[in-house]
Structure 1
């Protein structure tokens, strides 16, 4: 299959092909990549925190840090704080627009850059049946939007954004907890937090680690080019960019 895929692409000598693996591959897949000259590149960004969903929710919560349990109890004890899963296409578009506004404000507040093209992604995200949209509302008003990719075995946290009101309510904790409950109900066995950055974003890392300490490698990125020099140069550049 990989050979047919490469033949179909008809790469020119200077073209690059990158395959990003978000899960560890099976031995046959790794063998195929190595056999065709792909070069694996592992960086700090190729790591995530994963939660085992096979225990029941009481056991999952009991294994979490005390502060995480406290935040869950705090959030679930607020009657004006609700979690709403959105299925209507118009509601999903509206929620995505809310996410964009919150995400832009968050970028300005924290000063980070992002390669997410929200304008290009808007219609794709809203219509993708594999994406779960969750709004946390306070008094009926959205204060947090979370977008999660769903699959048979693994649900992966993709994007989240919130406003200042969410911080004092425990909205982020409630969102993750409701998604975990939903994932278990639909038969998923693992929840992927979508990456970790303890050096650059310690607060978010600590939030995720309070629920699970299972840090795993989610990469690597496999680099291919017909020209061996270009292949090695691209792999080296990708590695150095992450340092």
Structure 2
């Protein structure tokens, strides 16, 4: 038996920004601005849930992107970086509360017929081993159908001297050289500077051959009160030599894209921009700056670069999957497998 009983109810879209803003663990993936665009990109629907105590007090919230199977009226509900559980008017949830949240989400999935997949946000206060245990207790099992997430997170509540001391010596020295190189910093909303950023990004992309799952163009047009996206430029003698974009929602920020030209690399402009991104987050009163993920096997050099910033290496709990009882889950899985194979053939 779980200690608490919470219920989940669907919330109208217009009420989501106010509810999500009342959680300290809000990230861009749970912003209305991002969620609508992300769902539209894959032909999914967005659904917002509020989880409440028996007397109607909110304890958690979830933004779902639901991809329906044609003709089945059910499908796969994806809950990225959630559920939100750190309500501003409540202490951080204990294990019993977290289990009750998962139980309420399981009940929602069973009643809706959707396969529910979720991955918690990568935050320092989450105990991943505990969440693994609680997920199993509520029939959420690990799945490889959704991506895992490892990253480095910088605590931006620290003062500048503390942030500087936390840097690895092999990171701090290039930064000091960059700070002496006469670089200028320019910070502009991406909507006003995409035409400056994009040529730099495509040049670096062509040289290095990488291809992100979600390209930067997806973000350029995103505008909303609950999501901000800006670009930091490093300039030398009036010319852009490097750029880095940040997404912000609530008290959290995430590194999205970066591009450093040959001149910028010689002047350590990447270190310069990452450092000023930390200071920018601190000056804005943000708590955490997520450096955008790491992959030690596929990209060890970038992983090493991010780890040397003095941030904390984290793994997000999950992804987990709950499959409702009945034939519907089997049909959904078959449809997903067929879709994935056709997509692979087309690509």
TM range (shorter): 0.7 to 0.9
Paired residues for 1:208-227 under 5 Å: 208-212=306-310, 214-218=312-316, 220-221=318-319, 227=328
Q: Which has the higher contact order (CA 8 A, sep 6+)?
A: 1
* 2:54 match: none
**Range with greater deviation from structure 2 (28-37 or 195-204):** 28-37
Aligned residues: CA RMSD: 3.5
Paired residues for 1:125-140 under 5 Å: 130-140=228-238
> Larger Cα Rg: Structure 1 or Structure 2?
2
In structure 2, C-alpha distance between the alignment counterparts of 1:189 and 1:121, rounded to whole Å: 23
Paired residues for 1:141-220 under 5 Å: 141-212=239-310, 214-218=312-316, 220=318
Give the unaligned 5+ runs of structure 1: none
Secondary structure in structure 2 of the residue aligned to 1:133: strand
Residue 219 of structure 1 and its aligned partner are, at CA, apart by 5.7
Does the Cα contact within 8 Å between 1:16 and 1:223 map onto a contact in 2? Answer: no
Paired residues for 1:1-243 under 5 Å: 3-4=9-10, 5=47, 11=68, 12-13=71-72, 15-22=74-81, 25-26=84-85, 27=98, 29-37=101-109, 38-40=116-118, 41=143, 45-79=148-182, 81-87=183-189, 92-93=190-191, 95-119=193-217, 121-124=219-222, 130-212=228-310, 214-218=312-316, 220-221=318-319, 227-231=328-332, 234=336
Does the Cα contact within 8 Å between 1:136 and 1:144 map onto a contact in 2? Answer: yes
Change (3 A) 1:139 1:189: same
In structure 1, C-alpha distance between the alignment counterparts of 2:102 and 2:242, rounded to whole Å: 39
Point out the structure with the larger helix share: 1
In structure 2, C-alpha distance between the alignment counterparts of 1:210 and 1:142, rounded to whole Å: 25
Residue 70 of structure 1 and its aligned partner are, at CA, apart by 0.8
Change (3 A) 1:218 1:121: same
TM-score, length-normalised on structure 1? 0.78
Q: Output one character per residue of 1:108-143: Cα deviation in whole Å (capped at 9) or x when no partner.
A: 222222333455543336999611221111111111
Give the unaligned 5+ runs of structure 2: 1-6, 11-46, 50-65, 86-97, 110-115, 119-142
Residue 149 of structure 1 and its aligned partner are, at CA, apart by 1.1
